[in-house]
Every structure is written in structure tokens, then in C-alpha cells.
Amino acid sequence: MVAVLRIRGFALPEGEPVDLYADGDRWTSDPVAGAELVAEGWILPGLVDAHTHPGAETPGQPLDVAVLREDLRAHLDSGVTLIRAPGLAGDPPEWFGQADESPRAVHAGPWIAQHGQFMEGWGRRPELTDLPAVAAEQAARTGWAKVVIDWRPDDDVVPVGVLREAVTRVHAVGGRLAVHSQHAAGGMAAVEAGVDSVEHGMGLNPDLLPRMAEQGIALTPTLSVITASLAAITADPERARSSWYVPGASAHARLTAAAVEAGVTVLAGTDSRPHGGIAHEIRALVAAGVSPHEALAAASWTARSYLGLPGLVDGAPADAVVFDVDPRTDLSQLDKPRAVIVRGKAIR
């Protein structure tokens, strides 16, 4: 007989005391005789990395199942119990997102991009006339599709009309559409078309933020990786003077904080190797001026709700990460979770 796990402490976001038991893969507050108390402290309903691409060590490589296992384990060790992969190097194995070695997962399959754009060797490049149908087919299979709508500064942006049709078709099959954008024109097209999430959003016009909030368009700023790339570029003054990247990246922290202030759903995502670095993204959000509470929300309860999972309530999936101290008051706690529970099983 499998032992029933028990956790107790203060559940975020409210900080109310809870005493929860894992009834298989569901939490219940009904006491279970003989349950094993595995941890007590400050409890989050699992961390979330909403923008990660596990399974390939370098851009353009095919999906490697051994690498995928290692990447997913790194996520689990960091307290991440749910990931969203808006783009993968290939279709993942059936156990992806379901096996004990994997966080829960949603994904968008291979990226969809225009000819001559994006990483060579990755993704599909349909003609523009076929792009909406390709996106809808992907979303029908996995719930999400991901379109790279802009790439280099002088590349054509996916036209608003094409993108709007893609949104319509994806929504018609019950799916959602994420888009990669790192230029102002792409951000404008994304908002005009009514996509579900803007990934990166570097160069996004801040005037669009109220409209994003009203339309329910999420922003995943991947702030830590953009900040790190900016630092690498500005370390070389000559490169910094000529790089298109610098203006948008320099304003990205301010844009992210403004998005939270405007009521946009902001999601925490790492978009980088090594995997398991969600704590860096949370701290980058705080450094940008986002409150610790909102930064943790972007990597936990808000992100889970956006992806369709409830928090620490009866009947919710039995995921949790437990810390000794309230991580909102001590962000270093994120590096040392006391316990990580996925599907009612303690994996740390």
C-alpha cells in the first residue's frame, strides 16, 4: 500500500494555515489515518516555468530523449512542477509531462516560422496561406501552437490578417496561440490579432499594455536571459553601439514592471540552459521592480491558473513546493526547497 503524504503550514498566496493530504494525485483536507508528514513550512502550489525548451543542448539539434530526461529532472529539483514548452525540437515521447521523472507539461510542438527566419533545423515553415491551418492542427493535438512572428530587424512580420486567422482557427479547436516577438512591429501585430501570449515581448510599445490586460493577453518576458544577453553585448562597447538588441533589452525590465502594474498576466519563463533556473527569473522580476509577491505569482499560482490548474485546495492536483521561510521575505529560499511534491509523490 502506498503511503499517503501530508504537508502542513502556510499556503500562498493568502498565507492561510493548511493541512493537506495527497489522495492519489489530488489534495484533500480530510485527515487520512497513518499519513506521513513529509514537510511543513511555507507552501506554494508548485513552481512553474512557462517558457522552456527542454530536450536539445544547442539550437537546431533534434530532440534527444536522454537530454530531455536530464532537463526535466533539473526542473523538478528546482521545485518546478509544471512547465510550458512553447516550442520543442521535435514531438516528445508519450511520457512527457506524465511520468514521475517529468513535471506536468503543456507544449506547442515544433515552432512555426516563416521561410528564412528562426533557428535552422528547428520548426516548420509553411507558406503564409497555410500558416493558420498548420497552427490549428498543432493546437488540436497539444492545446498550444507557437508562431515566430518576427526575427531579425529587417525581416517581414507575419501579417496581422494571417495572424488573426490563426488565432480564430486555433481558438475554434479549443487551443491557444503563443507568439515569439522581439520587435515593436511584431508586438503590435500580436496585440492587434488577439493572440493568447506574447513570448519575450522585447520592443513592445508600453502603450499596448492596458489593451493586453483587457484582452487577457499574457506576457512571458524571459527577463533573466535577456538581461544576461544585454550584459554580454554591452561588455564590448563597439558591439553595443551597432547592436539592434540593446535598445529593446535596455528597456525590458521597465516594460515588465509596467506590465504587472497595468494588470497584464505576466508569466515567469527561463528560455535558457541549464534548466532549473526559475529562481533566477523570479529574482530578475524583483530586480526590475516587481514585488516579491507578484514575482512569485508569475512563477506559481498565477501561472498555474493561466495554464488551467488550481492551487492548494481540495481536489487540486497534488503538487507543492515547501520552504522553511516565506520566500517573499527571503528569495534565497528558492534555492533550497525543503520538499518538492508532484502527483502526490515526494521527489525531494
Going residue by residue through the chain, which has 348 residues, state the pLDDT in tens, using 9 for 90 and above.
568 999 999 999 999 999 999 989 999 999 999 999 999 999 999 999 999 999 999 999 999 999 999 999 999 999 999 999 999 999 999 999 998 889 999 999 999 999 999 999 999 999 999 999 999 999 999 999 999 999 999 999 999 999 999 999 999 999 999 999 999 999 999 999 999 999 999 999 999 999 999 999 999 999 999 999 999 999 999 999 999 999 999 999 999 999 999 999 999 999 999 999 999 999 999 999 999 999 999 999 999 999 999 999 999 999 999 999 999 999 999 999 999 999 999 998
Alpha-carbon span 140 to 135, nearest angstrom: 9
Q: Are 55 and 63 in contact (CB under 8 A)?
A: yes
**210: Cα separation from own chain's centroid:** 21
Q: Helix 184-193 crosses helix 160-172 at what angle (to 10 degrees)? A: 40
Contacts of residue 170, defined as CB under 8 A and 6 or more positions apart, other chains included, come to 132, 135, 136, 139, 145, 176, 177
SS3 8: strand
Q: What is the pLDDT of residue 179?
A: 98
State the amino acid at position 282 in one-letter form.
Answer: I
- Residue 276 burial (CB count, 10 A): 21
Contacts of residue 231, defined as CB under 8 A and 6 or more positions apart, other chains included, come to none
- Residue 17 burial (CB count, 10 A): 10
- Residue 194 burial (CB count, 10 A): 17
State the amino acid at position 12 in one-letter form.
Answer: L
Residue keyed to cell 502603450: 207
Among residues 223, 311, 226, 219, the alpha carbon closest in space to that of 264 is found at 219
Which residue(s) pair with 144 in the sheet?
176
Architecture of domain 5-44+312-346: Roll (2.30)
Q: What is the pLDDT of residue 342?
A: 97
36-62 in b/e burial notation, b at 16+ Cβ within 10 A? Answer: eebbbbbbbbbbbbbbbbbbbeeeeee
∠57-62-66 over CA atoms, to 5°?
Answer: 60
* Cis bond before residue 274 (omega within 30° of 0): yes
∠84-103-62 over CA atoms, to 5°?
Answer: 65
- Residue 270 burial (CB count, 10 A): 29
Q: Are 169 and 133 in contact (CB under 8 A)?
A: yes
Which residue(s) pair with 10 in the sheet?
17, 42
Alpha-carbon span 279 to 301, nearest angstrom: 15
Domain with CATH 2.30.40.10 in the chain: 5-44+312-346
Residue keyed to cell 521597465: 254
What's the order of all strands across the beta sheet hosting 47-49?
A: 47-49, 80-85, 104-107
On the CB side of 242, how many CA atoms lie within 13 Å of its CA?
3
SS3 292: helix
Domain with CATH 3.20.20.140 in the chain: 47-306
CATH 3.20.20.140, domain 47-306, yes or no: yes
